[in-house]
């Protein structure tokens, strides 16, 4: 299988990289780790013109902050283990699409292969959804504080968070997102393996989750 690595923000580059055999564009927006945004409307319209299906992992934004179906994306997937669950006591996922696609998935995939959420977890998820708007507003406010602290820190070269006005995709975010969620990344000045390791080891805030570095 051919694999092409691209910056998804560059729609023209995506168009060039498409092959006559391309069937699906699977994306995440914001993109993982560098938090660049993808113009969902432009991407969906490019894909539709060529008969390509689009699938987005919308876990970072939650359905509150980004609504990809309204921009023409075909299928939205979520981990419900994160913000949607919110209490670290359930694991699950969700697929959202139109009736025709969901009915196919239900008949041919879900019934045969699907992991089926037990009633206990389903009820915990319903409980969690009731507080989602409050939790997401707080996540956004807290992350913005952390981002501002980091951007003013002398050891930090750049903060990657679409809620900061100097983020390269800030304007697109204003049109496409209604909140910025709680996950961000940053680059150290003159980073080495040693300095990055030191920062991770010194991070004492228990709610920080450092998942990796580039
Ligand atoms: C965590 C995560 C997943 C995987 O979710 P699990 O419920 O842990 O399997 C998928 N996509 C994104 C963007 C995530 O952050």
CA torsion sign for 185, 83, 65, 181 is negative
**DSSP-H helix ranges across the chain:** 11-17, 40-49, 62-65, 99-105, 111-113, 119-129, 132-151, 170-176, 193-202
Cβ 87 vs Cβ 67: under 8 Å: no
Substitution site in 82, 93, 211 for ligand 1 pocket (most atoms within 8 Å of beta carbon):
82
Cα-to-centroid distance, 76 and ligand 1 (Å): 13
29 secondary structure, DSSP code = S
On the question of pLDDT at 214 being above 50, the answer is no
Write the residue with the smallest CA distance to atom 4 of ligand 1.
79
What is the C-alpha separation between 117 and 78, in angstroms, rounded?
14
Average pLDDT of the segment spanning 184-200: 91
Residue where the block lists tokens 């992350």: 143
- Closest ligand 1 atom to the C-alpha of 91? 7
Q: What is the pTM of this model?
A: 0.90
Write the residue with the smallest CA distance to atom 13 of ligand 1.
59
Domains defined along the chain, listed by start: 11-129 (3.40.640.10), 132-213 (3.90.1150.10)
Confidence band for 187, pLDDT divided at 50, 70 and 90: very high
What is the C-alpha separation between 151 and 114, in angstroms, rounded?
44
Write the residue with the smallest CA distance to atom 1 of ligand 1.
79
Q: Say whether 122 sits in a helix, a strand or coil.
A: helix
Give the closest residue to 73 by CA, choosing from 20, 23, 26, 14: 26
- Closest ligand 1 atom to the C-alpha of 81? 7
Q: Say whether 70 sits in a helix, a strand or coil.
A: helix
Give the closest residue to 177 by CA, choosing from 6, 4, 30: 30
- Dump pLDDT digits (tens) for 40-85: 999 999 999 999 999 999 999 999 999 999 999 999 999 999 999 9
Cα-to-centroid distance, 104 and ligand 1 (Å): 23
């Amino acid at each position: 299988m051919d694999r092409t690595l691209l910056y998804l923000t560059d729609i023209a580059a995506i168009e060039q990289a498409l092959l006559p055999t391309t069937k699906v564009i699977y994306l995440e927006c914001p993109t993982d780790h560098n938090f660049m945004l993808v113009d969902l409307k432009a991407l969906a319209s490019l894909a539709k013109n060529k008969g390509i299906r689009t699938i987005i992992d919308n876990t970072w934004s939650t359905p509150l902050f980004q609504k990809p179906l309204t921009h023409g994306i075909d299928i939205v997937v979520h981990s419900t283990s994160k913000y949607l669950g919110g209490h670290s006591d359930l694991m699950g996922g969700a697929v959202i699409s139109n009736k025709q696609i969901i009915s196919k998935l239900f008949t041919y995939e879900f019934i045969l292969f699907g992991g089926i959420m037990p009633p206990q977890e389903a009820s915990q998820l319903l409980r969690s959804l009731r507080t989602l708007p409050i939790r997401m507003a707080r996540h956004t406010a807290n992350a913005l504080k952390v981002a501002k602290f980091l951007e003013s820190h002398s050891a930090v070269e750049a903060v990657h968070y679409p809620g900061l006005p100097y983020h390269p995709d800030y304007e697109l975010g204003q049109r496409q997102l209604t909140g910025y969620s709680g996950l961000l990344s940053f680059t150290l000045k003159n980073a080495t393996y040693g300095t990055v390791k030191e920062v991770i080891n010194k991070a004492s805030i228990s709610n920080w989750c450092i998942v990796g570095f580039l």
